[in-house]
Structure 1
Amino acid sequence: MPNISQVHGSHTQARDILGALVIREKNLTLVTKHNGDIPWEENYGYGLYYNDCRFLSAYTLLINGQMPTEILSSDEKGYGSVTMLTNPSIRECSGRTVEKNTISLRRDRYIAGLISEILSIESFNDFPVEVEIRLLFDSDFDDIFTIRGITKTTEGTLLPPAYENGVLKLSYTGKDGHTRITRVSIDPQPDYVEAGTCVFNIPLEADSKQALHITISVEETPSGGDVEVVDIPTEKRLKGIKASYVETMECCSNVQTSNQIFNKVFQRSLSDLRMLYMLRGGNVYYSAGVPWYDALFGRDSMFSAMQVLPYNPNVSRSTLLLLASLQGNARCDWRDEEPGKILHELRVGEKANTGEIPQTPYYGSVDSTPLFLILLADYVDWTGDMSLFHQLGDNVDRAVAWLDSQTKQDSDGFLRYSMRSTFGLYNQGWKDSGDSVSHSDGSLAQHPIALAEVQGYVYSAKRRIAKLFDRLGRHDDAKRLQKEAANLLWKFNDKFWMQDRQFYAQALDSRGQCDVISSNPAQALWAEIVDRRRADCVVKRLFEPDMYTGWGIRTLSSDEKRYNPLGYHNGTIWPHDNSIIAMGLGLYDKKDELTELFTSMYEAAGFYTSYRLPELFGGYHRGESDIPIKYPVACSPQAWSSGCIPYMLTASLGFIPDALNQRLKLVKPKLPKWLESVRINSLHVGNAACKLEFRRVGESTLVNVMEKRGQLEVEVVY
């Protein structure tokens, strides 16, 4: 067995990247400090990334040999950013002292195929000033797995910087035979270039301005293959990107509420998801998160698509098509691949190309396959698009066959996992760090492991696919799946229930119950596998102080031996986890608790820059701190955290779509006290749409169906 901490403890080997400024478009990502720099030293993850490679590992700005001392403002809008800086006290070229805060430096950037930056230097002195501007560029061309501390450092040939014909060229030939090049061009050209440093002597008349126009492009050439260049931008391309963001903002304006802060949180959520668009084979999907997981992840990409289905169903469709095209075809221990299995993670960098890592793709995820079926069923419920179900019919059958093959190996019919790959994940649920599944004595779970929430996913997948099979006339298959789901429901509630703790075990392993109190069974509410007679006990336990912090529900009770408020999966708070729990609370008619959880996550978002919820935050109790405690290396933005607030709103409004039968049910909608009203101008269900208004009156939430277009029956259940 490989060393567990080596396999997946490595997210902690990267250091603090809190406050990173991120701009991104499709597969190109720039992560800088808030001053716009990629630091030369102590760089823990900043850089310009493409195809899992860091094409720039340093990009710093100096004025007369010093860093600008003040950040006046720094803001991003997905594909672009503006940073305002000012000078320290400097001695200019003639020897005269220039007081601090008398020269401004403004960095306007956008990504549209490459990085385009305008660096504006403006003097507010009443005398001429000549300043020296140095721009330092470097690249280690490290693979993201190297940056995270998982694999060895760069092993190819790193060439020295070269400046020719007005272009600074940074080059690397990898061990995989790929040539990777970063090109920097600046107008006007530097006065001189030394290695990767471009130097400009800039005269500034009194109250005058000068500008440098900088473009940075990346290029990758496979061995013996065609040059792969990220498209050179055109005004038309930039207009297209802007139009896409306008469309996202129109989607936000389609949802209007009485709370202006919530409107900003909701807007940030959808804007970040738009920023996380990634493209492969013509299919758009959500990248899991910047910078560590800026790639296709089966679980993450599907959950985030599911969270925003009522607002953007197209990403679910393309995500399903892409994952279906990469479905497992053979048994491969190195990649934990099996026929019919949906992938966990796909990487395309040097370490993947040389076979040093199994993410080519890697299939070590026990839950991606049932989630694929659930997302497809969700998509059909909202859109009525049975053509996609027909198109993916073979993929559905293969996914169901994989579930069958795995559950038949277990005497109780549970879906378990064991790692076969020597470089794989020891734990293969969403809590996939090596120490995330344990017993109350602190000992770690041993393979094979059956997670509580995963049994719920299987239960939900079988029930929902059975309904679609019935519609297609596959009645025998539907009955079989329904029977298997019913058996799983009984077995789960028998084997996972801890009578002495009045809660469900986190998992079953080779020794029996993993008898800790954790958030895993809370996600089983979302799948509706929890016995309704026990729901009161489960929900009450979740809101005890050892689990509920006031900022959200912890991943692990603070009473457990492995609890750590900054342990990746052992006591922290994950927004996406809380959003799934919130949806489950709604399905069990626990709307008061849902509202409390929604409120805690909304209030937590208010403490983060631009209302962006990160991947996770510390599991400290609200009484210990007036603000949520940040996790130093959390991805931000991260897709399923961005989907948290929209999903919680959906849960609060009680949407149950049934596009195939032209119905929309609103089950006991309940707005929190800080949200007086919500209006959705156009909610699409299949080919129809409706305009809805929700208004809180006292403790009740009233619904007004203001308009309907097309055939749609809207039923409100109080």
Structure 2
Amino acid sequence: MPLQPLLHDLVPTLAAPTSALSGADGQIRASGVQGVFHADCRVLSLAVLRLDGREPEPIGHAAAGPGATRFVSLARWLGNPGPDPTVRIDRVRRVRAGAVDEEITIVSTADVPVTTTVTIDTASDLAPIEMVKSGNIGRGDDDFGRGPAFEQGVGDVGQRGDGVGGVEVRIEGDLDRRVTIPPRGRVTLRWALTVRDPAAVMLAGPRGDFARPAVRAADHRLTRLLDQSLDDLAALRLTTAIDDGDTFLGAGVPWYLTLFGRDSLWAARMMLPLGTDLALGTLRALARRQGTKLDPETGEAPGKIMHELRRDDVSVEGRLPAVYYGTIDATLLWISLLHDAWRWGHDPAEIAELLPALEAALGWLADHADPDGDGFLEYLDPTGRGLANQGWKDSHDAVRFHDGRIADAPIALAEVQGYAYRAAQDGAALLDAFGRPGGSLWRAYADALAARFRGAFWVDGGRYPALALDRDKQPVDALTSNIGHLLGTGILNADEEARVAAALGSAEMSGGYGLRTMSAGDGGFAPLSYHCGSIWAHDTAIVAAGLARAGFPAEAGRLIDGLLGAGEAFGFRLPELYGGDSRTEISRPMPYPASCHPQAWSAAAAVLVLQAWLGLDPDVPAGVVRVRPLPDAPTVTGLRIAGHPVDFANGTLTGLPPGFSIQEAVESDRQAGTLEDFADAEQDAGHEGDPVE
């Protein structure tokens, strides 16, 4: 059985929609998921550098700025004899949309001339991303293999086998050169790849779209994490030919470098402290593709926001439709992002232009989100060819009972009910503010949903809400991170938020480097399960922000400290997910071997952590900004509220437009202490592997 190729240890270089994935030595080998990808097509499957027919010995690599990576290696068989290497190779790879350039500098500190033949073997298979992900490439049952080689310094390739059609690839430069490096001198060689892909759906997004604040923090992990995250987020910007320059974030490298409803919405929502233009670009791009009809094959329904967008010129068995709507939460998240962009001060005229799409989205919530009429939102893939699970935990085995049994669909997820409550309230606020009818009806809907939720979801004697309701309306009683998404939605009262905070703050949930997706005391728990025990950066940040806003700084601080520790372990580029092992048993988080990086919502999690630390909650239409910082809050220059640059220092926000008032929350008894205290409290919490009493 073919296995999805591992990619946690590959080095990405990115300028969406183009990305290069190589080994840590800089070599791109004809195996796994290595290669240069452009718009869901692998346009280069081999790029191996040799000197005199031998591969140089790698010693390290480092980022060389946005869209660039430097790989350093040695040729110890050249130059002076002795223990110190005298011939070093610096290979700098730069990626632009539709192009890759490499500059190879051979530096000699030898006292004699060094002569060598430099070659770069290249090949292209034009494999669609779905085939690469399946693990079938190179197994003998496909027509890809190495693909055509490029020779004599210049090469072109068109369609090959079952590859993506219409793609033209050209490579030129120093692919075979004999050079002499003078004593203590250097020689620089260059080669470049360019791609022409007329059928590509994804195009490079325009520059801009969010600010880049300056941050000073006592914990330097935060500043380094933000720096790398903002570089990655800039590189993930995309648009399409029909989106008139509107920019959104591609979900992640390599599998998800396209428009995703849920992922792109969450990432844009996390980025609101840096400006609202990215949010509006994302909202408009998704509104242009909003559902208009019922289609079981694609999951489309009137008013529904799509799940993902792919190119339509690829035919791969088992592939989802090019425009796929199999998501239960993207429509709700779209409504709340529109509301939040308005609250952060986006131009009301541009918000008003999206009110018809808002009303259509609310129509989906009223008419199509609850097919069995039980008062809860649920999903079921009727075709058997779409996603079996359609919340953010969309793997087939993500919804499990405490004893490990997999729940049967239809599934009503806990967090989705919270999203629906929040979307109804947010939609009502927008309808009222812009003089549209229906606000009171949606507030009544939210109140009724909260009452139903209170009666159906709480388990374990009322200690925490269930993960979901299954086909038989039975609570799926595993303790999971899903319930953390309820914080801040309004569906919980203060007492219920306290119970959720206590459950999530337990060692079984918060004992790793962040928040586990499932409690270590549940039967389905495994530290390297995709959704049943691993840790996701965006999930942890969302819950930490909810805890901070609800007044639980210790629990929030513990999760933030875990994220910063993970960021440091992964070179300050938070991957899609990583292992949920205990911090008391292992000194650094273990990689999830098929984890994408960079990932939009993992990178944007750093911005949400910053917002949660500062406790910023603006309501620009009301002229109010609420501030509730956590201990040791950083100093930040260049945030954006209502389009104005604002600064935060010593608990004070400055730079707001005239007429705004600042409301500072009263510090609660729970808020004493520092981030280090929260981390120490975690160490004292005990061994989380013990069963939950």
TM-score, scaled relative to structure 2: 0.89
User: SS of the counterpart of 1:567?
Assistant: coil
> What's the counterpart of residue 684 of structure 2?
none
- 2:27 paired residue among 14, 24, 37: 37
Query: 1-side partners of 2:613 and 2:557: how far apart?
Result: 7
- 1:137 paired residue among 122, 142, 145: 122
Query: 1-side partners of 2:270 and 2:72: how far apart?
Result: 35
* 1:714 is aligned to 2:670: no
TM alignment of 1:295-334, pairs within 5 A:
295-334=258-297
Which amino acid letter does the alignment assign opposite residue 296 of structure 1? L
* 1:681 is aligned to 2:665: no
* 1:121 is aligned to 2:106: yes
Would the alpha carbon gap of residues 129 and 323 (structure 1) be closer, same or farther in structure 2, given more than 3 Å must change? same
* 1:265 is aligned to 2:221: no
Would the alpha carbon gap of residues 340 and 175 (structure 1) be closer, same or farther in structure 2, given more than 3 Å must change? farther
User: SS of the counterpart of 1:527?
Assistant: coil
Q: How far 1:688 moved relative to its partner?
A: 5.0
Q: Deviations over 1:84-115 (max 9, x none)?
A: 2211326x9xxx98987221111123223411
Q: Deviations over 1:165-185 (max 9, x none)?
A: x52223324658822222110
- 2:88 paired residue among 82, 86, 104: 104
TM alignment of 1:31-180, pairs within 5 A:
31-40=21-30, 43-89=31-77, 101-113=85-97, 114-149=99-134, 160-161=148-149, 163=151, 166-173=153-160, 175=162, 178-180=165-167
> What's the counterpart of residue 493 of structure 1?
454
Query: 2-side partners of 1:210 and 1:56: how far apart?
Result: 25
Q: How far 1:163 moved relative to its partner?
A: 4.7
> What's the counterpart of residue 686 of structure 2?
none
- 1:640 paired residue among 601, 624, 630: 601
Would the alpha carbon gap of residues 707 and 370 (structure 1) be closer, same or farther in structure 2, given more than 3 Å must change? closer
Which amino acid letter does the alignment assign opposite residue 33 of structure 1? G
Which amino acid letter does the alignment assign opposite residue 134 of structure 1? T
Which amino acid letter does the alignment assign opposite residue 263 of structure 1? T
- 2:397 touches 2:406 (CA, 8 Å); kept in 1? yes
> What's the counterpart of residue 507 of structure 1?
468
Q: How far 1:228 moved relative to its partner?
A: 10
Percent identity reads 28
Q: Deviations over 1:249-270 (max 9, x none)?
A: x7231x3334433211222222
Would the alpha carbon gap of residues 713 and 221 (structure 1) be closer, same or farther in structure 2, given more than 3 Å must change? closer
Query: 2-side partners of 1:513 and 1:429: how far apart?
Result: 17
Query: 1-side partners of 2:198 and 2:146: how far apart?
Result: 15
Q: Deviations over 1:584-623 (max 9, x none)?
A: 11232112211222122122212221x1111111011111
- 2:123 touches 2:147 (CA, 8 Å); kept in 1? no
Runs (5+) with no aligned partner, structure 1: 1-5, 188-197, 232-236, 695-702
> What's the counterpart of residue 284 of structure 1?
247
* 1:660 is aligned to 2:621: yes
Query: 1-side partners of 2:389 and 2:248: how far apart?
Result: 25
Q: How far 1:349 moved relative to its partner?
A: 6.3
Q: Deviations over 1:510-552 (max 9, x none)?
A: 1211111111111111323123222222211112222121412
Runs (5+) with no aligned partner, structure 2: 667-693
- 1:316 touches 1:379 (CA, 8 Å); kept in 2? yes
* 1:200 is aligned to 2:148: no
Q: Deviations over 1:624-655 (max 9, x none)?
A: 10111111111111111111122122123222
Query: 2-side partners of 1:706 and 1:399: how far apart?
Result: 37
Would the alpha carbon gap of residues 155 and 60 (structure 1) be closer, same or farther in structure 2, given more than 3 Å must change? closer
> What's the counterpart of residue 190 of structure 2?
213
Query: 2-side partners of 1:368 and 1:602: how far apart?
Result: 28
Query: 1-side partners of 2:64 and 2:478: how far apart?
Result: 42
- 1:386 paired residue among 339, 344, 348: 348
User: SS of the counterpart of 1:357?
Assistant: coil
User: SS of the counterpart of 2:510?
Assistant: coil
Query: 2-side partners of 1:543 and 1:658: how far apart?
Result: 29
- 1:374 touches 1:460 (CA, 8 Å); kept in 2? yes
User: SS of the counterpart of 1:383?
Assistant: coil
Query: 1-side partners of 2:184 and 2:456: how far apart?
Result: 77
- Tell me the matched-pair count: 658
Query: 2-side partners of 1:365 and 1:356: how far apart?
Result: 18
- 1:374 paired residue among 329, 336, 340: 336
Superposed CA RMSD: 2.8
Would the alpha carbon gap of residues 639 and 159 (structure 1) be closer, same or farther in structure 2, given more than 3 Å must change? closer
- 1:690 touches 1:705 (CA, 8 Å); kept in 2? yes
Would the alpha carbon gap of residues 83 and 390 (structure 1) be closer, same or farther in structure 2, given more than 3 Å must change? same
Q: Deviations over 1:479-508 (max 9, x none)?
A: 110000000011111111114362111000
Would the alpha carbon gap of residues 408 and 706 (structure 1) be closer, same or farther in structure 2, given more than 3 Å must change? closer
> What's the counterpart of residue 14 of structure 2?
24
Which amino acid letter does the alignment assign opposite residue 494 of structure 2? R
User: SS of the counterpart of 2:134?
Assistant: coil
- 1:693 paired residue among 649, 653, 666: 649
- 2:509 touches 2:515 (CA, 8 Å); kept in 1? yes
TM-score, scaled relative to structure 1: 0.86
Report the more deviating stretch, 151-160 or 556-565. 151-160
Query: 2-side partners of 1:373 and 1:173: how far apart?
Result: 43
Query: 2-side partners of 1:395 and 1:62: how far apart?
Result: 56
> What's the counterpart of residue 468 of structure 1?
430
Q: How far 1:317 moved relative to its partner?
A: 0.9
Would the alpha carbon gap of residues 351 and 421 (structure 1) be closer, same or farther in structure 2, given more than 3 Å must change? farther
> What's the counterpart of residue 566 of structure 1?
528
User: SS of the counterpart of 1:369?
Assistant: helix
Query: 1-side partners of 2:34 and 2:660: how far apart?
Result: 50
> What's the counterpart of residue 551 of structure 2?
589
Q: Deviations over 1:554-610 (max 9, x none)?
A: 11112222111100001001111111111211232112211222122122212221x
Q: How far 1:473 moved relative to its partner?
A: 2.2
Q: How far 1:203 moved relative to its partner?
A: 2.4
- 1:173 touches 1:179 (CA, 8 Å); kept in 2? no
Which amino acid letter does the alignment assign opposite residue 591 of structure 2? K
Q: How far 1:447 moved relative to its partner?
A: 1.5
- 2:312 touches 2:322 (CA, 8 Å); kept in 1? no
Which amino acid letter does the alignment assign opposite residue 127 of structure 2? D
> What's the counterpart of residue 194 of structure 1?
none
- 1:252 touches 1:267 (CA, 8 Å); kept in 2? no
- 2:352 touches 2:434 (CA, 8 Å); kept in 1? no
> What's the counterpart of residue 669 of structure 2?
none
- 1:176 touches 1:350 (CA, 8 Å); kept in 2? no
Query: 2-side partners of 1:360 and 1:523: how far apart?
Result: 29
Would the alpha carbon gap of residues 27 and 154 (structure 1) be closer, same or farther in structure 2, given more than 3 Å must change? farther
Q: How far 1:361 moved relative to its partner?
A: 1.1
Would the alpha carbon gap of residues 528 and 586 (structure 1) be closer, same or farther in structure 2, given more than 3 Å must change? farther
- 1:343 paired residue among 296, 301, 306: 306
Which amino acid letter does the alignment assign opposite residue 158 of structure 2? S
- 1:81 touches 1:109 (CA, 8 Å); kept in 2? yes
Q: How far 1:130 moved relative to its partner?
A: 1.9
- 1:689 touches 1:710 (CA, 8 Å); kept in 2? no
- 2:124 touches 2:148 (CA, 8 Å); kept in 1? no
Would the alpha carbon gap of residues 20 and 176 (structure 1) be closer, same or farther in structure 2, given more than 3 Å must change? closer
> What's the counterpart of residue 545 of structure 1?
507
Query: 1-side partners of 2:150 and 2:586: how far apart?
Result: 51
Query: 2-side partners of 1:229 and 1:410: how far apart?
Result: 37
Query: 1-side partners of 2:201 and 2:444: how far apart?
Result: 51
Q: How far 1:692 moved relative to its partner?
A: 2.9
Which amino acid letter does the alignment assign opposite residue 420 of structure 1? P
Q: How far 1:229 moved relative to its partner?
A: 12
